[in-house]
């Protein structure tokens, strides 16, 4: 006789109290942990039904805004368009609630080494492509490329988050992105703000941006964005002030944008005259097209995590832990296999670089390295991408190392005849 395990679901008041108790135990362990918090395992009820590799989609939710600078003749106005596009990427990436007003689970799944996410947007801007790959696991780093051939715009970058506890949970996102516009042979180096978590005590968890980020162009314009949150007496949550100025002339801004990155903001010229008001909530997001799970490569995120995501959506905490452990154990076995064979994982679309001359040139720091740059630089490898596409079209298996399918385990060694 077999024993059937009933799903352990979380949908009543007792579970809510249990969650709060588990949450405070988790926070207690976080507060005493000395290393990078990204290595800690979060309670299952905190897990979001998506992997961090999907976060690169936020860069191009509005393809028309991404490509709009390519249509602008003035370098000054292009810099403004780039700043406005960047601000449009923040709302849904950091929102604590979804479009229906339901509170989101805030802890995304930690990607495994080699995890990929592929998709495309199709609208009046043409086709915009996305390739994302988890290029490092310890420390974690995600690399991505987004491009639109119709308008000659491409965005390439890598993010290496590091989380630590100091009064609250803080996340630094090292790395940077380079936006390139073919028509003007123009580059923009973009860094990301820090994130901290508010509402730890009240269990109303919400991310808040802080610090400063920059967008610097090869045409001689820089945007500095300062982020602030609600204080004890005044101020509003999710606030920012951005100044766009010609290099070497920061004290005389050309434009000032201020408001809330999750709501609306105003644009003023350097003399303080209001030029426009932008309602971010009214922006329509273009749907991302992703291949059906059954057609995806085993390394693609939604296929690999499908059973974990199903369990998260069903509020089945037992199944979440069970399915998640399958993937984690398979990865440990694969790493051991590689170590014993004296091999390292071959990245599918990206290659590590020693330096990035574009980022060094556009750095806002005096040290010569891009602000927020970490010690690992990952660049999209066009030859790898073309070779992978050719293999797919000819029906050959792709040239990668061992792979696993949905946490079941290592299933085969891929070879190219």
Pairwise CA distance, residues 402 & 398, whole Å: 11
Q: Are 108 and 51 in contact (CB under 8 A)?
A: yes
| CA angle (393 as vertex; 392, 398 as ends), nearest 5 | 20
The whole-number pLDDT of residue 391 equals 82
Please name the helix (run of DSSP H) or strand (run of DSSP E) that holds residue 154, with its range, or none. Answer: strand 153-166
φ, ψ at 382 (rounded to 5°): -60, -35
CA dihedral angle for residue 338, residue 341, residue 343, residue 349, rounded to 10 degrees: -60
The whole-number pLDDT of residue 376 equals 82
Residues in the chain: 417
The DSSP symbol for 105 reads P
Pairwise CA distance, residues 42 & 22, whole Å: 10
Q: Are 108 and 276 in contact (CB under 8 A)?
A: no
The whole-number pLDDT of residue 368 equals 39
Helix or strand or coil: residue 83? Answer: helix
pLDDT tens-place values along the chain, 417 residues long: 434 444 445 455 555 555 666 666 666 666 666 666 666 666 667 788 999 999 999 999 999 999 999 999 999 999 999 999 999 999 999 887 777 777 777 789 999 999 999 999 999 999 999 999 999 998 899 999 999 999 999 999 999 988 877 777 888 999 999 999 999 999 999 999 999 888 776 667 788 999 999 999 999 999 999 999 875 556 788 999 999 999 989 999 999 999 999 999 999 999 999 999 999 989 999 999 999 999 999 999 999 999 999 999 998 888 998 999 999 999 999 999 999 999 999 999 999 999 999 999 998 764 334 444 456 899 999 999 999 988 877 765 544 444 444 443 443 333 333
The whole-number pLDDT of residue 405 equals 42
Q: What are the CA-CA distances from residue 90 to residues 59, 138, 171, 183 (Å)?
A: 8, 26, 15, 27
The whole-number pLDDT of residue 169 equals 80
Pairwise CA distance, residues 33 & 27, whole Å: 10
Residue 25 burial (10 A CB sphere; 0-12, 13-18, 19+) = exposed
Give which of 98, 14, 9, 29 is closest to 320, Cα–Cα: 9
């Amino acid at each position: 006789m077999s024993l059937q395990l009933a799903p352990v679901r979380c949908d009543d008041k007792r579970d809510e109290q249990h969650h709060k108790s588990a949450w405070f135990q988790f926070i207690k362990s976080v507060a005493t942990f000395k290393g990078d918090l990204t290595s800690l395992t979060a309670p299952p009820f905190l897990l979001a039904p998506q992997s961090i590799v999907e976060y690169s989609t936020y860069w191009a939710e509005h393809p028309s805004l991404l490509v709009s600078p390519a249509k602008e003749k003035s370098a000054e106005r292009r810099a403004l368009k780039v700043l406005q596009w960047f601000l449009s990427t923040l709302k849904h990436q950091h929102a604590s609630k979804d479009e229906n007003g339901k509170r989101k689970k805030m802890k995304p799944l930690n990607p495994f080494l080699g995890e990929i996410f592929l998709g495309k947007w199709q609208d009046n801007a043409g086709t915009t492509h996305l390739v994302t790959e988890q290029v490092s696991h310890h420390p974690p780093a995600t690399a991505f490329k987004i491009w639109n051939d119709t308008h000659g715009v491409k965005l390439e970058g890598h993010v290496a988050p590091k989380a630590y506890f100091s009064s609250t949970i803080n996340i630094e996102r090292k790395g940077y992105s380079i936006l390139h516009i073919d028509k003007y042979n123009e580059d923009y180096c973009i860094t990301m703000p820090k994130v901290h978590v508010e509402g730890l005590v009240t269990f109303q968890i919400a991310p808040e941006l802080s610090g400063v980020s920059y967008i610097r162009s090869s045409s001689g314009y820089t945007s500095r964005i300062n982020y602030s949150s609600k204080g004890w007496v005044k101020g509003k949550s999710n606030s920012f002030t951005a100044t766009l100025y010609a290099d070497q002339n920061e004290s005389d801004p050309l434009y000032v944008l201020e408001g809330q990155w999750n709501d609306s903001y105003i644009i003023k010229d350097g003399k303080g005259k209001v030029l426009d008001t932008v309602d971010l909530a009214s922006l329509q997001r273009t749907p991302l097209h992703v291949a059906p799970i059954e057609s995806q490569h085993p390394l693609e995120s939604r296929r690999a995590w499908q059973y974990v995501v199903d369990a998260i959506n069903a509020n089945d905490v037992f199944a979440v832990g069970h399915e998640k452990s399958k993937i984690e154990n398979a990865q440990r076995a694969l790493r051991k296999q590689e170590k014993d064979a004296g091999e390292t994982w071959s990245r599918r679309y990206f290659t590590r670089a020693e330096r990035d001359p574009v980022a060094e040139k556009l750095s806002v720091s005096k040290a010569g390295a891009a602000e927020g740059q970490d010690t690992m630089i990952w660049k999209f490898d066009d030859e790898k991408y073309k070779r992978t596409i050719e293999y797919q079209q000819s029906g050959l298996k792709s040239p990668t190392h061992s792979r696993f399918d949905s946490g079941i385990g290592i299933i085969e060694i891929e070879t190219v005849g």
